[in-house]
Amino acid sequence: MNNTSMSIHQLWDNLLSREPASVIAAFSTLDKQEQAAVLAQLRKMADEPGWHPEQRKSADVALEELGELNL
């Protein structure tokens, strides 16, 4: 995430917004290493126990949208 990009809070708000355009726009601000870390975290949120059901659903939506980018 470069200096001109959004804050980490804004980034995750957008990634978990369930709004396809916001998810993709936020993800596209990241470099490849950051994208890999975000994808790993989203997979944890979607798959591991202990996350709130709404967080899991938001992570699932983000993963679905990002999967359409053929990452």
Report domain extents, the chain: 8-67
Q: Determine the length of the chain.
A: 71
Instruction: Work out the percent of the chain whose per-residue pLDDT is above 70.
Output: 86
Q: Is the model more confident about 57 or about 5?
A: 57
Average pLDDT score over residue span 50-67 = 96
Average pLDDT score over residue span 13-21 = 97
pTM of the model: 0.85
SS3 label, residue 69? coil
Mean pLDDT of the chain: 91
Return d(Cα 23, Cα 7) in angstroms, integer: 14
Residue whose C-alpha is closest to residue 32's, from 61, 69, 4, 58: 69
Residue whose C-alpha is closest to residue 26's, from 40, 15, 39: 15
Return d(Cα 31, Cα 49) in angstroms, integer: 28
Neighbours of 7 (CB within 10 A): 9
Average pLDDT score over residue span 19-45 = 96
